[in-house]
Amino acid sequence: MNQPDGPLRQSPAMATLRCVSRKRIIPFFLLLLAACPSDRLGQRAMKGSPRDLPPAMPALPPPALTVITELRGPESVLYDPAQDVYYISNLNGGLLNADNNGFITRVNAQTLAVELEWIAGGRNGVTLDAPKGMALVGDSLYVSDIAGVRKFDRRNGSAQGIITLPGATLINDLTTDGTNVYASDTGLRTGPGRTFIDAGTDSIWKIHDDRAEKIASGHELGHPNGLDFIDGRLRVVTFGGEEVYSLDNGRRGHEVSLPAGELDGITRAANGDLLVSSWAGHEVFRGPEKGPFTPILAGLNAPADLGYDTKRHRLLVPHSGSNLVTIHSVP
């Protein structure tokens, strides 16, 4: 468990980044040497194959309140307001590598103390290959994985079983309306190098009482990735395009285009604005439901499934190609 020496304090001039790593706080210039996306050491340290990671970016991470390092392909960040913690899913290998070494990191949102492998594949009867999106319903933490959607106790991390999605290829993001869990199948397989192959399984699933039902399918979904349930409607971002759309009766409803594509994560700011991450733009965009969207963070290395701390108004950004998560003040 990595834990800072004490609570992190905000610098008036924001001249340093606080880094939760190896029980020390690292000054800004040292952090850039240690966490620059062009540094491949973190990727080489992964237990699994790094072939599915995007290429390193030459740009430096944007200014942040905090940088959490020593991760292994972080894919998603989720805030649990009841526990006041952040969950971070770590692929620790390829997107579709069934290697049982994925893990979930838990971070105390107040002290930023890090428990790196809170839930870990191969330990305590847990199977976890390549965890991605997460959602909370009742006492359970739902986690998407290769074989299905796994369930864990949100308090102690104990395994609670798996819900299969027959025929799904790349089970990706999860969200909830408070009762049901929704899952995206992005409909892609990994190809040679860092390429993707169309699997033709694009779909959205609904899970109720641990039973999965496909509620939408087809290429018109645009390789659905990030999901969020907003004001009674399911919102979807496309990895195969640059659109955010609502899902209405199993079909694409209202949609808006963003400045760049290969969209991954979607969440909301305190004022209701949408926050969307883009691999192609290396950015996080912000805008109202009907647009327009403008970048608020740039130079990101494969920004993945975003989280938002509703108590402190913090945006939680996993850099899946740089093995770190950055935390930003976004009211």
Query: Residue 193's pLDDT is what?
Result: 79
CB-based contact 91:69 (threshold 8 Å): no
* Average pLDDT along the chain: 85
- Per-domain boundaries in the chain: 18-329
pTM: 0.84
152 token code pair: 């864990």
Query: Residue 63's pLDDT is what?
Result: 79
Per the listing, tokens 């790349």 go with 170
Which residue stretches of the chain have pLDDT < 50? 1-60
Q: What are φ and ψ of residue 297, in 5° steps?
A: -135, 140
- For domain 18-329, which architecture applies? 6 Propeller (2.120)
End-to-end CA distance of the chain: 30
* 292: preceding bond cis by omega (within 30 degrees): yes
Query: Residue 192's pLDDT is what?
Result: 87
Query: Residue 62's pLDDT is what?
Result: 56
